[in-house]
């Protein structure tokens, strides 16, 4: 996890949850830049997500990512690959992020289950993080104090629940 | 990563969404929004759910929170 790129690309499912988190700016300390595809930006209309993303774009912590025809073609190829696999379908916004992650080495930030499992099921060489992995990384770098408290805070503030296996993994980390 | 683990993951997420949802609130919604939330509860797919509702993903997420449906990944 710690060897990941210093650049990331975020999809809507990640941003709408993450923007509600009171320690959301910790993301800006983990990455030099977070790209936001135009197709993702079109899906954000309400605060806090749109306000936070606009602020981050203004401060250059985020950058707008414009899809090219080649990237869109790759995204549609990934969507087709996901069909017929034991995998939740990957929708276009997540597929764009995966395609960009593959092409440019960005860490893909998503809460889409299909995109999360895609590297393993489809054999893609791309790093995919959910809020869980972002918070774990922040804890490893000393940006948050208690991993368990932070995960709980995130659950409460965003109405986002982590899986039992993730909690077991987190408990294992804090005990070791 | 086996298909069993993915299926187990999906089932756990679906169960949490079903259990935590405010069904009284959901049942009172207009048909389009109700159908979209039920789709989301079953699949966790916010993008398609937002399309069913005729909303952006951000707008649908607000509805999800009002209906007390957790996102689970």
CA distance A103 to chain B (A): 23
How would residue A2 be classed by pLDDT, with cut points 50, 70 and 90? very low
* B53 found inside a domain: yes
Out of A43, A93, A130, closest to residue B73 by CB: A130
How far apart CA A115 and CA A107 sit, in angstroms, is 12
Determine the pLDDT at residue A94: 92
* B71 found inside a domain: no
A161 interaction partners in chain B (CB closer than 8 Å): 16, 20, 70-72
What domain range is B57 assigned to? 3-66
Choose, out of B4, B7, B11, B61, the residue to mutate when testing the contact with A (most A CBs < 10 Å).
B61
* B41 found inside a domain: yes
Domains annotated for chain A, with CATH where assigned, are 7-175 (3.40.50.1010)
Secondary structure class of A128 (helix, strand, coil): strand
| DSSP state, residue A61 | S
Determine the pLDDT at residue B68: 97
* B17 found inside a domain: yes
Cα angle value A95/B41/A124 (rounded, 5°): 25
State the complex-level ipTM: 0.89
Q: What is the mean pLDDT of residues A161-173?
A: 93
A76–chain B Cβ distance below 8 A for any pair: no
CA distance B40 to chain A (A): 12
Q: What is the mean pLDDT of residues B50-58?
A: 96
**How confident is the model over A71-81, as pLDDT tens digits?**
999 999 999 98
B39 interaction partners in chain A (CB closer than 8 Å): none
How far apart CA A11 and CA B57 sit, in angstroms, is 10
B43–chain A Cβ distance below 8 A for any pair: yes
* B72 found inside a domain: no
Determine the pLDDT at residue B6: 82
User: How confident is the prediction for chain B on average, in pLDDT?
Assistant: 94
Axis crossing angle, helix A147-158 with helix A131-140, rounded to the nearest 10:
150
pLDDT at B1 over 80: no
**How confident is the model over A36-46, as pLDDT tens digits?**
999 999 999 99
Choose, out of A161, A162, A164, A166, the residue to mutate when testing the contact with B (most B CBs < 10 Å).
A161
* B56 found inside a domain: yes
- Could you give the dihedral angle defined by the CA atoms of residues B35, B17, A110 and B52, in that order, rounded to the nearest 10 degrees? 0
How would residue A150 be classed by pLDDT, with cut points 50, 70 and 90? very high
CB atoms within 10 A of CB A156: 11
Count of the separate structural domains present in chain B: 1
């Amino acid at each position: 996890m710690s060897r990941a790129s210093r650049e990331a690309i975020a999809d809507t499912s990640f941003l709408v949850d993450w923007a509600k988190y009171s320690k959301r700016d910790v993301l800006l300390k983990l990455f030099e830049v977070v790209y936001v595809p135009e197709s993702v930006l079109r899906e954000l209309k309400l605060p806090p997500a749109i306000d936070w993303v606009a602020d981050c774009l203004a401060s250059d912590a985020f950058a707008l990512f414009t899809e090219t025809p080649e990237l869109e073609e790759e995204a549609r190829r990934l969507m087709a690959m996901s069909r017929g696999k034991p995998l939740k379908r990957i929708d276009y916004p997540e597929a764009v992020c995966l395609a960009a992650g593959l092409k440019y080495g960005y860490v893909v930030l998503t809460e889409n289950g299909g995109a999360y499992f895609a590297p393993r099921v489809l054999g893609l060489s791309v790093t995919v993080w959910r809020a869980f992995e972002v918070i774990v990384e922040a804890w490893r770098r000393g940006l948050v104090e208690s991993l368990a408290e932070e995960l709980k805070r995130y659950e409460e503030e965003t109405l986002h629940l982590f899986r039992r296996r993730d909690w077991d993994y987190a408990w294992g980390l804090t005990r070791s | 990563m086996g298909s069993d683990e993915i299926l187990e993951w999906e089932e756990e997420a679906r169960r949490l969404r079903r259990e935590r949802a405010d069904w009284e609130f959901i049942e009172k919604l207009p048909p389009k929004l109700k159908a979209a939330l039920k789709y989301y509860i079953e699949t966790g797919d916010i993008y398609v759910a937002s399309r069913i509702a005729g909303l952006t993903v951000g707008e649908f997420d607000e509805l999800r929170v009002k209906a007390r449906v957790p996102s689970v990944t």
